[in-house]
Amino acid sequence: MVSRDTDRTGHRERIETVIVGGGQAGLATAYHLRRRKRPFVVLEAGARVGDNWRKHWDSLRLFTPATLSHLPGMRYPARGWSFPTKDEFADYLEGYAAHFGFDVRTGARAEAVTRHAGRYQVTAGAQCFEADHVVLATGAHREPKVPMFAPALDPGIVQLHSSAYRNPDQLRPGAVLVVGPANSGSEIALELAAGRDVSLAGRKVPVFPVRPHSLAARVVMRAFFLIAAHVLTSKTPLGRRARPYVRANPAPLIRVKPQDLAAAGVRRVGRVVGVQGGRPRLEDGDELDVANVIWCTGFQVDYSWIDLPACAAGGEPAHERGVLTDEPGMYVVGQLFQHALASTFIGGVGRDAAHIARVIERRVRRRRRATHQEEGPSAAALVGTAGG
């Protein structure tokens, strides 16, 4: 469905706002723009809305319960303290977009953003859009990150980044090294420990104090969410102190605890710092004889595909609560601690999306008022001449 305010000329489609990314951040932004009756289009690289979630490993479940995992305007259709699978949540996103009738273009991966004559041009394959506003809602991560020495490993070792891992059938028989002990690495290591020799490399990470399914979690998680949304923000002294730490360190372990890994026989080892004789080398000098390595080493933000000065460095552009400071008309949503610790939570991204929608509406109205003021004297002068 094309917005009624859209004007097509040639191969270029004119639209007020282009949202790049059809995940939870993009759809939350779409919801708030729709509430304000602002026209937009959502570009989603996957064949279906939610495909980014469907591509995660098979056994993944959300770390937050259904009651804290819904987008604005539509509750998650499950028991409040159940933990949806990644496919169930992907279907929720797809149903969310369909329920509100958003104009989502699937299979449209944004490849370039430029600016010409005061408007942005967004290219996605054969499609090209002209827009006054562009919202980058591709999330905090875009490109898998692996160490520079990874290619030096013996070619017989199977290497997978966590984004490519699905299940144990992808691996060779033999020992496995999982690099990165945060939530993804710990969950994958625990899954692989059934029948395999598994080592988990990296420094210890914080541990969430309660089990997600416990009765205590119902109190602690709700309290934590409120603190993450309203106390740890860019507007509070505590939030400003916490922000650099949060952005530089892994999140606490939610579901899998260190004792679970120990009970399953997962061996904890130090950091992997290089390669020796084709094998992973640890910081203490030990070499690990493994058949498989899974890199749970996170992602790096990549905006190098945007041909604008504000994104010239390729990393996250400078912004104030998602509004780019050096590029009026461009915004980000879904970044880690964008405004609050809850900014990347499924249930927390809506507030940042609402803020961006307000800014867009305010700028549209301001621009219209300026245009009317410029046109007013000319019209009055014409009327005066005709009357004379």
Please give the pLDDT value at position 376: 64
Share of the chain above pLDDT 70, in %: 93
90 with 188, same domain: the answer is no
14 with 76, same domain: the answer is yes
Domain-located, residue 225: no
Mean pLDDT of the chain: 91
180 with 261, same domain: the answer is yes
Look at residue 21 and give its three-state secondary structure. coil
Domain-located, residue 213: no
Please give the pLDDT value at position 138: 82
Domain-located, residue 226: no
Helices (H), the chain: 24-35, 51-54, 86-100, 183-192, 215-230, 237-248, 258-263, 349-387
Q: What is the mean pLDDT of residues 100-116?
A: 95
281 with 349, same domain: the answer is no
285 with 258, same domain: the answer is yes
112 with 51, same domain: the answer is yes
Total domains, the chain: 2
Domain-located, residue 341: yes
288 with 310, same domain: the answer is no
Of 330, 327, 316, residue with least CA distance to 122 = 330
Give the domain extent around 55. Answer: 7-142+301-372
Flag whether pLDDT at 340 surpasses 70: yes
Please give the pLDDT value at position 311: 85
Q: Give me 71's structure tokens.
A: 């987008």
Question: pLDDT class for 327, splitting at 50, 70, 90?
Answer: very high
Domain-located, residue 343: yes
Domain-located, residue 365: yes
pLDDT per residue over 231-254, tens digit each? 999 999 999 999 999 998 889 999
CATH of residue 95: 3.50.50.60
Q: What is the mean pLDDT of residues 82-94?
A: 97
137 with 28, same domain: the answer is yes
Please give the pLDDT value at position 48: 97
148 with 29, same domain: the answer is no
Question: pLDDT class for 78, splitting at 50, 70, 90?
Answer: very high
Q: Which of 240, 273, 295 is the last residue of a domain?
A: 295
90 with 110, same domain: the answer is yes
Q: Give me 299's structure tokens.
A: 């992602």
Domain-located, residue 291: yes
Burial class from Cβ neighbours inside 10 Å (0-12, 13-18, 19+) for residue 97 reads buried
CB contact set of 204 (below 8 Å; sequence gap of 6+)? 181, 258
153 with 255, same domain: the answer is yes
Domain-located, residue 305: yes
260 with 349, same domain: the answer is no
